[in-house]
Structure formats: C-alpha cells, structure tokens
Amino acid sequence: MSGGKSLTRKTPVPRLAASAARERLAGFPILTITGPRQSGKTTLSRLLAPDVPYFSLEDPDTRAFATEDPRAFLRQASDGAIFDEVQRVPGLFSYLQGMVDGDRRMGRFILTGSSQFELMESITQSLAGRASMMTLLPFSLGELQAVGRGPSSVDDLLHAGFFPPIYDRPVEPTHWIQDYVGTYLERDVRQILNIQDLATFQRFVQLCAGRVGQLLNVTSLAADAGVTRVTAESWLSVLEASHLVFLVRPWFTNLNKRLIKTPKLYFGDPGLAAWFLGVREAGHLHAHPQRGALFENWVMTELLKAQCHRGIKPTLCFLRDKEGHEIDALVETAPDTFHAVEIKSGETIASDFFAGLDYWRARLDRQTLVPWLVHGGSVHQEREKATVLPWNDLSPLIDGLG
C-alpha cells in the first residue's frame, strides 16, 4: 500500500477536476469548490490561481477581520483572491456580490467550503448566476494510479481510503483517520448541531457504517442509536451536507409500481467507513463480514467522482424491485441510456453475478443498458452478458461516464 510508507512529502497528485474548474473560471466571476474536509480543495485552488492572495477563514484573526470590517478586508482582494472555508463568514457573500456586479471579470474569486448546506444557502441568496459550484471529493483510484501511487490490493484500498493526506504524508491511515474523525466530531458537528453527547453521535455514525449499501430505514437507525427519528434525520442531513455520507436514489418510472423507492446509504470514503466498523489493519478485511459492502461502497464513490470531477451533475442511481431483482448502479449518460454496473467483491467470477443485469435487460425495452461487472479479482473479459473489469482497471467504465 502507498499510504504512510514514504519518509518525505510527495508532489501533489494531478486532479481530474482541474480541467473542469478552469472552464468554469473562464465563464464565471466566482468558482465555489465544495467537498469534505481534507479532500484537496485548498491545493487545487492554489494550483488554479497561484498569483492571487489566499485567505483562510479558519484562522481566528483573519475571520475576525473579515467579520468586523468586511469592506476593508475585501480591499485586499480587489484583483481576486482565494477564500478558504468561506462559510465561516457568511456576511462576506453580499459584499462579494457588489464587487462582482461592479467588475464582471471572469475567474476573479475562488471560494471553498466543507459544508454544502451553508454554502448553497449563501450562494442562492447572494451569488446566484455569479458563482459556479463544483464538488471535489478525495482521490479516485485512477488519479493515484496515474502517478504510481495506487493501493496494491483491495484490502489496502478499503483500509486506507482515498483522502489526500494519507498519500502525500508519512502517516499511517488508521492514525490519520482517527484524528480526522476526532476533529470532525469535536469541531464541525458540535458547532452545527450543538451536540452535547458525542458518544451517542459516534455510535450513530458507526450504525450508519454498518448499513453501507443497504436501503435506508431511518426509523430503525434511530431506534438502534437511541434517538428520535427527527434527530436521526437531522444528523444524516449534516453528514450528507458535509460530504461524509451520500444517498443513492433508486431509478423508477411511474409506470412500474413494483420498484423500490427508498435510497441507499454510502460513505464518501471507504476508509472512513472501515474505520467506523473497527478496521484498524488491512489484514482485518480479508474475512470481514462487511467486506463486500465496503467494496460496493468504494465502487460507488468511483462512479460519483467520475462525474463530479468533470463538473457533471451526478446521475448515479440504482434499480431494484420489491422481489429483490437489482442492479447495483445505474449512471445515465444520455436520455434513456444507462451504464449498468454490478459490483462483486469476489475474485472468482460466478454465473449468478450477472443475474440482475440479465433480468433487467430483458424487461426494460425503452432503455438501453450498457452492462458492466466490477469484481475483486484480476480478470478482464468482454462477455456477451457484460464487460468484466478487475478492481484495479476501472478506466474503460470511468472514461465512458464523462
């Protein structure tokens, strides 16, 4: 595995999102980059605009200046700037509106933030039509493979996850994720939700990790965590807005009453989910009961990143009826054309791996399904039923989603 092995800091990994971000900067006065903490937003911003001032609004002195005297603060940025974690000073947005309305130069400001909810609210109120939004998630496998830093096995991948610091610092994944969770729980969640009992919240997140890839039953989740359904919904919304979990909605038509309409729950990073499940070493995953779910979680994040990092609104969904006939992932790439992906962690390909793809291809006559099977082995095959891809070569699938 690559995470935590080098004694020196490595050069930054080129991000697929850089190309789409440059296109947005050419057409909008403001680019807003949202994503989880430590996903590389600051690094990407400084790469895109290396010659403008950088201000972190996490810094108490900078935040106090921006809050108490926003006009004087923004005079430092008349020719452009990067404002990191800008949701910390929501009062800046109306002043930025005035600046860009008076000077319509494109690509003048880059804003970053780790809370999608707070950013969206401020942008909708003050910067609608002036700011383009992109989501930057942790590394994809392809980004790491392009510079020779990809994990060497499925277990390493699921244990380490894909947060950038794990791959550019001499740090062990478990230690870094442990500190990340502690910081997130103590600072972000307590600040947003005013949670007094962090142990209960952490148990709630652990229960979420145990439900990865399952249909989301909020009532059951709340009962197991010992909180009300309203509290569970509130906590889920904050986890989702912070990009730590995401929901995949089912695809359905009004013509079919037998299709499931409940979303599935996934974590934004498989290493984070594994940590909450108690995985502390890659070797713990070989016979772990949740290994298949974590593998599915990882592939779903790759499909999500394939569109987010190209600036495309994600079309990721799944298909399942009430009898359990299912396709793990559908990604619409053209009207009524879907890449249909079945995900299996096993190394040996079994005939029943294709059952869901076969079932739905025979029944969806108005939709075109391009079938894929992603598995945990090393075999790449062009079968009549589907294109079979090994875990470490997803590029044929990913390249078709852009």
- In tens, the pLDDT along 303-358 reads 999 999 999 999 999 999 999 999 999 999 999 999 999 999 999 999 999 999 99
Q: What is the mean pLDDT of the chain?
A: 92
Angle formed by the axes of helices 198-209 and 218-225, nearest 10°: 140
Q: Is residue 1 part of a domain?
A: no
**Looking at residues 381-390, what average pLDDT do you find?**
96
Q: Is residue 3 part of a domain?
A: no
Residue 340: count of CB within 10 angstroms of its CB: 24
DSSP assignment of 62-112, as one string? HHHHHHH-HHHHHHTTTT-EEEETGGG-TTHHHHHHHHHHH---TT-EEEE
Q: Is residue 7 part of a domain?
A: no
Query: Kind of pairing, strands 109-113 and 30-34?
Result: parallel
**Looking at residues 79-105, what average pLDDT do you find?**
92
Same domain, 168 and 76: no
Q: Of 117, 135, 153, which residue sits at a domain end?
A: 135
Instruction: Give the confidence band of 5 by pLDDT, cuts at 50, 70, 90.
Output: very low
In the chain, the percentage of residues whose pLDDT exceeds 70 is: 95
In the chain, the amino acid numbered 266 is: Y
- Segments forming the whole domain that contains residue 99: 17-135
Q: Is residue 369 part of a domain?
A: yes
Same domain, 338 and 305: yes
Q: Is residue 352 part of a domain?
A: yes
CA 393 to centroid of chain Cα atoms: 20
Burial class, 145, CB count within 10 angstroms (exposed 0-12 / middle 13-18 / buried 19+): middle
Q: Of 135, 169, 204, which residue sits at a domain end?
A: 135
Burial class, 256, CB count within 10 angstroms (exposed 0-12 / middle 13-18 / buried 19+): exposed
Instruction: Give the confidence band of 191 by pLDDT, cuts at 50, 70, 90.
Output: confident
Same domain, 79 and 190: no
In the chain, the amino acid numbered 24 is: R
| Per-residue model confidence (pLDDT) at position 194 | 77
Q: pLDDT of 133-158, one tens digit each?
A: 999 999 999 999 999 999 999 999 99
Strand partners, 292: none
Residue 218 has pLDDT above 70, yes or no: yes
| Per-residue model confidence (pLDDT) at position 2 | 43
Same domain, 301 and 348: yes
Instruction: Give the confidence band of 118 by pLDDT, cuts at 50, 70, 90.
Output: low
Q: In what order do the strands lie in the sheet with 264-267?
A: 264-267, 245-250, 316-320, 326-334, 337-344, 368-375, 387-390, 381-382
Q: In what order do the strands lie in the sheet with 30-34?
A: 54-56, 81-84, 109-113, 30-34, 131-135
DSSP state, 363? Answer: T
Same domain, 122 and 151: no
Angle formed by the axes of helices 229-241 and 198-209, nearest 10°: 70
H runs (alpha helix) in 103-216 = 116-122, 141-146, 154-160, 164-168, 173-183, 190-193, 198-209
What are the distances in angstroms from CA 74 to CA 62, 123, 131, 340?
A: 11, 18, 17, 48
Same domain, 44 and 157: no
**Looking at residues 14-37, what average pLDDT do you find?**
96
In the chain, the percentage of residues whose pLDDT exceeds 90 is: 80
Same domain, 169 and 309: yes
Q: pLDDT of 70-89, one tens digit each?
A: 999 999 999 999 999 998 89
Q: Is residue 242 part of a domain?
A: yes
Same domain, 226 and 123: no
| Per-residue model confidence (pLDDT) at position 36 | 93
Burial class, 35, CB count within 10 angstroms (exposed 0-12 / middle 13-18 / buried 19+): buried
Q: Of 102, 135, 168, which residue sits at a domain end?
A: 135
Same domain, 272 and 206: yes
Q: Do residues 311 and 23 make contact, with C-beta atoms less than 8 angstroms apart?
A: yes
Q: pLDDT of 283-293, one tens digit each?
A: 999 999 999 99
Instruction: Give the confidence band of 4 by pLDDT, cuts at 50, 70, 90.
Output: very low
Same domain, 232 and 354: yes
Q: Is residue 6 part of a domain?
A: no
Residue 17 has pLDDT above 50, yes or no: yes
Q: Which two tokens stand for residue 137?
A: 């998630």
| Per-residue model confidence (pLDDT) at position 115 | 72
Residue 254 has pLDDT above 70, yes or no: no
**Looking at residues 208-217, what average pLDDT do you find?**
97
Same domain, 128 and 165: no
Same domain, 106 and 153: no
Q: Is residue 102 part of a domain?
A: yes
CATH number (domain holding residue 32): 3.40.50.300
Burial class, 85, CB count within 10 angstroms (exposed 0-12 / middle 13-18 / buried 19+): buried
| Per-residue model confidence (pLDDT) at position 117 | 63
**Looking at residues 194-220, what average pLDDT do you find?**
92
Residue 3 has pLDDT above 50, yes or no: no
Q: How many domains does the chain have?
A: 2
Q: Do residues 204 and 225 make contact, with C-beta atoms less than 8 angstroms apart?
A: yes
Residue 229 has pLDDT above 50, yes or no: yes
Q: pLDDT of 310-320, one tens digit each?
A: 999 999 999 99
